[in-house]
Amino acid sequence: MRVPVATKSHQYEVVLGYQFLTEALQVFADKLQKADKLIVFTDEHVWAAQGENFQANFPYPFDVFVLPNGEEAKTFEQYYAAHTFLLEHECSRKSFIFAFGGGAVGDVTGFVAATFMRGIPFIQIPTTILAHDSAVGGKTAINHPLGKNMIGAFYQPEGVIYDIAFLASLPEREVRSGTAEMIKHAMISDAAWLTELMTADSVIHFSTEALAQHLQKGIEVKSRIVAEDETEQSVRKFLNLGHTYGHAIEAAAGYGKVAHGEAVMIGLVYCLLLSERYGDMNRAFTTAFLQFAAKNGYPFDAVQHYSFDELVSYLMKDKKTEYGVLQFVLLQEIGRPFVKAIDVAECREVDAEFRQLLA
């Protein structure tokens, strides 16, 4: 399966398949044969779980740089160490980097690729469900101790090779996390697809075929949006559905305690409550959605661990907050998102409603 991504700065393809790395790399054969060095960036978990499969199917000589897991990969120290690695391996602008891992590896690799010698080509080989989102669209970043993703660039890959076989070892929590972004993609684009997801026995244990189809749909939504708005001036904002409240939960818990997508799922329910006020959504749907999410193991008890006052300081830090007014993406109906400014007093009211619903 192929999904084209056509941004103003660059055009490329996401190719999706099962156990097809060697075949998928052929698209890039010309470029890779001309490259002076091929470097693979990955993290410890991914390399331990999937390194053998990768090596068996990667037909060119390469060197590997293994990052620490998860957010630990997105530090300035690792970013700097990555540049040192590339220099020590005598990489040049004719070298190629591969990001083999989840969103964390993808984000730091992309930023290294964007900045090493002012930019060298890179290819994303995602290994998580969440990366159907993060590997497409060209946002790259590392974290600063004062804020997540604060240092980065828009930099598009040469391509994305999504081999679902690499997802076999993904822990259930990470499956749950990434699936929330897929559900978000359905909510902003397609009511029939959302119904299909909500009526599935489980969204955590899809067959390979079903997973491939859902991932393809998610990638299509993301790719359509970034083609229209590469640098988040307009419609790309819709991808933030669930993220304002979600980020506050994620930050209050301490990054990594509640997985990103788990927090986003909590934020999606909060947005549904707001959408009852400003869109055509209703309580019956919100309740059904909450039941669906809880049935699939999303950890709503996290909300009870933090008071609204604790969350509010994180809400105020949101990049989109201005003068105490927060910007939320809401739904007129499923598939029709819009942006709405909400003041903190109303956020508090809806937060109380949310807690009652969870009680």
Sites of contact with ligand NAD (CB under 6 A): 43, 45-46, 49-50, 69-71, 74, 101-105, 107, 127-128, 130-131, 133-134, 137, 139, 149, 166-167, 169-170, 174, 177-178, 260
- Is 260 marked as a binding-site residue? yes
Q: Nearest to residue 179, comparing CAs of 160, 195, 202?
A: 202
Choose between 103 and 267: whose C-beta lies nearer to ligand NAD: 103
C-alpha span between 146 and 97 (Å, rounded)? 28
Long-range contacts of 5-9 (CB under 8 A, 24+ apart): 5/136, 5/137, 5/156, 5/160, 5/223, 5/226, 5/227, 6/223, 6/227, 7/137, 7/138, 7/156, 7/226, 7/227, 7/230, 8/230, 9/138, 9/154, 9/156, 9/230
- Is 22 marked as a binding-site residue? no
Main-chain phi, psi angles of 42, to 5 degrees: -150, -175
State in angstroms the smallest separation of the CB of 116 from ligand NAD: 18
C-alpha span between 265 and 271 (Å, rounded)? 10
- Return the residue nearest ligand NAD (CB atom): 103
Choose between 253 and 344: whose C-beta lies nearer to ligand NAD: 253
Choose between 143 and 286: whose C-beta lies nearer to ligand NAD: 143
State in angstroms the smallest separation of the CB of 345 from ligand NAD: 30
State in angstroms the smallest separation of the CB of 106 from ligand NAD: 6
C-alpha span between 238 and 243 (Å, rounded)? 10
State in angstroms the smallest separation of the CB of 289 from ligand NAD: 21
- Is 181 marked as a binding-site residue? yes
- Is 139 marked as a binding-site residue? yes
- Is 83 marked as a binding-site residue? no
State in angstroms the smallest separation of the CB of 356 from ligand NAD: 31
- Is 107 marked as a binding-site residue? yes
Positions at the binding site: 103-107, 127-128, 139, 148, 181, 243, 260
